[in-house]
Amino acid sequence: MDAIILQILNGLDKGGAYALIALGLTLIFGTLGVVNFAHGALFMLGAFCAVTFERVLTLSERVRDPSVTFFEAYKEVPYLTIWYGDAGQAIVDWAVPLSIILAIPVMLIVGLAMERGLIRFFYKRSHAEQILVTFGLAIVLQEIVKYFFGANPIPLTAPSALTGSVDLGHWLGLTGISYPLWRIVYFLFSLVVIAAVFAFLQLTTFGMVVRAGMADRETVGLLGINISRKFTIVFGIAAVVAGLAGVMYTPILAPNYHLGMDFLVLSFVVVVVGGMGSLGGAVLAGFLLGILQSFASMTEVKAIVPGIDQIIIYLVAVVVLLVRPRGLLGRKGVMEA
Amino acid sequence: MSQSVMTSGNRPEKGMGKSPAERTEPTGSGLRGFMRSSGGDYLLLAVFAAAILTMPIWLAPIGAGYPDILQKFAIFGIFALGFNILFGFSGYLSFGHAAFLGVGSYAAVWMFKLLSMNAFPALIFAVLVSGVFALLIGFVSLRRSGIYFSILTLAFAQMSYNLAYSVLTPITNGETGLQVNRSDPRILDQLFGGTSMTVPDIFGVQLQGWAGFYFCAVLLILAFFITMRIKNSTFGLMLFAIKANQTRMSFTGFSTRPYLLTAFVISGMYAGLAGGLLAVTDPLAGAERMQWTASGEVVLMTILGGVGTLLGPVIGAAVIKYLEQIFSSFNEGLLHRAFDFLPTAVQDIVVAIVAPFVGEGWQLTLGLMFMIVVIFLPGGIMEGVGRIARRVRRDKPSDDGAASKAGH
Interface check for B156 against chain A (CB to CB < 8 A): the answer is: yes
Cα A224 to chain centroid distance, Å, stands at 35
pLDDT at B208 over 70: yes
Distance of alpha carbon B108 from alpha carbon B207, whole angstroms: 14
Cα B55 to chain centroid distance, Å, stands at 18
Using CA of residue A81, residue A84, residue A85, residue A91, what is the dihedral sign? negative
Question: Is the CB of B155 less than 8 angstroms away from the CB of A127?
Answer: no
Q: Is A9 or B85 the better-scoring residue by pLDDT?
A: B85
pLDDT at A173 over 70: no
Distance of alpha carbon A80 from alpha carbon A77, whole angstroms: 8
pLDDT band, residue B224 (cuts 50/70/90) = very high
Q: What is the mean pLDDT of residues B49-54?
A: 89
pLDDT of residue A332: 67
Out of A21-30, A246-255, B201-210, pick the least confident.
B201-210
Cα A69 to chain centroid distance, Å, stands at 48
B360: distance to nearest CA of chain A, Å?
9
Of the residues A25, A37, A114, A143, the best mutation for testing chain B's interface (the one with the most B CB atoms within 10 Å of its CB) is A143
Interface check for B158 against chain A (CB to CB < 8 A): the answer is: yes
pLDDT of residue B343: 79
CATH label of the domain that carries residue B125: 1.10.3470
Strand partners for A179: A166
Distance of alpha carbon A268 from alpha carbon A24, whole angstroms: 11
Read out DSSP for A122-172? GTTS-HHHHHHHHHHHHHHHHHHHHHHH-SS-------GGG-SEEEHHHHH
Q: Is B223 or A336 the better-scoring residue by pLDDT?
A: B223
Letter string b/e over residues A144-181, b meaning 16 or more CB atoms within 10 A of that residue's CB: bbbbebeeeebebebbeebeeeeebbeeeeeeebebbb
The residue range of the domain holding B89 is 44-329
> Which domains are delineated in chain A?
2-59+95-323 (1.10.3470)
Phi-psi map region of A61: left, alpha, beta (phi>0 left; psi -120 to 50 alpha): beta
Most confident by average pLDDT, A102-106, B236-240, B255-259: A102-106
A312: nearest CA in chain B? B159
Cα–Cα nearest to B273, from B70, B56, B5, B82: B82
Give chain B's domain count: 1
pLDDT at B1 over 50: no
pLDDT of residue B266: 96
Does any domain span residue B110? Answer: yes
Most confident by average pLDDT, B43-57, B95-109, B275-289, B358-372: B95-109
Q: Are strands B205-206 and B201-202 parallel, antiparallel or unpaired?
A: antiparallel
Q: Is A303:A27 a contact under the CB 8 Å cutoff?
A: no
Does any domain span residue B59? Answer: yes
Cα B196 to chain centroid distance, Å, stands at 32
Question: Is the CB of B144 less than 8 angstroms away from the CB of A127?
Answer: no
pLDDT band, residue B23 (cuts 50/70/90) = very low
Does any domain span residue B386? Answer: no
Distance of alpha carbon A249 from alpha carbon A17, whole angstroms: 8
Of the residues B149, B362, B363, B370, the best mutation for testing chain A's interface (the one with the most A CB atoms within 10 Å of its CB) is B370
Out of A8-12, A301-305, B45-49, pick the least confident.
A301-305
pLDDT of residue B195: 60
Q: Is B231 or A163 the better-scoring residue by pLDDT?
A: B231
pLDDT at B16 over 50: no
Cα–Cα nearest to B134, from B105, B163, B96: B96
Contacts of A2 (CB under 8 A, 6+ apart): A169, A174, A175, A176, A177
pTM listed for this prediction: 0.83
Report which residue type is found at B217: A
What does the pLDDT look like over A82-107, one tens digit per residue? 787 777 888 888 888 889 999 999 99
Distance of alpha carbon B306 from alpha carbon B312, whole angstroms: 5
Does any domain span residue B37? Answer: no
Does any domain span residue B38? Answer: no
pLDDT of residue B396: 54
pLDDT of residue B194: 60
For B150, which of A131, A306, A311 is closest by C-beta distance? A131
pLDDT band, residue A334 (cuts 50/70/90) = low
Q: What is the mean pLDDT of residues B177-205?
A: 74
For B158, which of A118, A265, A325 is closest by C-beta distance? A265
Q: What is the mean pLDDT of residues B302-311?
A: 89
What does the pLDDT look like over B347-404, one tens digit per residue? 888 888 877 787 777 888 888 988 898 888 888 888 888 888 888 887 555 444 444 4
SS3 of B196, please? coil
Distance of alpha carbon B68 from alpha carbon B281, whole angstroms: 9
Interface check for B255 against chain A (CB to CB < 8 A): the answer is: no
pLDDT at B10 over 50: no
pLDDT of residue A245: 93
pLDDT of residue A106: 95
Q: What is the mean pLDDT of residues A4-31?
A: 86
Determine which helix (DSSP H) or strand (DSSP E) holds A77, and give its type and residue range: strand A74-78
Question: Is the CB of B361 less than 8 angstroms away from the CB of A143?
Answer: yes
- Can you tell me the ipTM of this complex? 0.81
Question: Is the CB of A140 less than 8 angstroms away from the CB of B367?
Answer: yes
Interface check for A35 against chain B (CB to CB < 8 A): the answer is: yes
pLDDT of residue B398: 47
Most confident by average pLDDT, B20-29, B272-281, B286-295: B272-281
Determine which helix (DSSP H) or strand (DSSP E) holds B284, and give its type and residue range: strand B284-285
Q: Are strands B178-179 and B284-285 parallel, antiparallel or unpaired?
A: antiparallel
| Contacting residues of B for A265, CB less than 8 Å apart | 154-155, 158, 292
What does the pLDDT look like over A258-268, one tens digit per residue? 888 778 888 88
What does the pLDDT look like over B108-134, one tens digit per residue? 999 988 888 888 889 999 999 999 999
Distance of alpha carbon A193 from alpha carbon A17, whole angstroms: 11
Does any domain span residue B315? Answer: yes
Question: Is the CB of B163 less than 8 angstroms away from the CB of A311?
Answer: yes
What does the pLDDT look like over B312-348, one tens digit per residue? 999 999 999 998 888 888 777 777 777 777 777 888 8
Q: What is the mean pLDDT of residues A47-73?
A: 82
Question: Is the CB of A321 less than 8 angstroms away from the CB of B148?
Answer: yes
pLDDT at B9 over 50: no
pLDDT at B2 over 70: no
Report which residue type is found at B150: S
Distance of alpha carbon A319 from alpha carbon A271, whole angstroms: 14
pLDDT of residue B76: 95
CB pairs under 8 A between A and B: 115
pLDDT at A305 over 60: yes
What does the pLDDT look like over A117-170, one tens digit per residue? 998 888 888 888 888 899 899 989 988 998 899 888 988 888 887 777 777 666
B99: distance to nearest CA of chain A, Å?
15
Q: Is B232:B49 a contact under the CB 8 Å cutoff?
A: no
Q: Is B408 or A165 the better-scoring residue by pLDDT?
A: A165
Does any domain span residue B243? Answer: yes
Question: Is the CB of A143 less than 8 angstroms away from the CB of B367?
Answer: yes
Q: What is the mean pLDDT of chain B?
A: 81
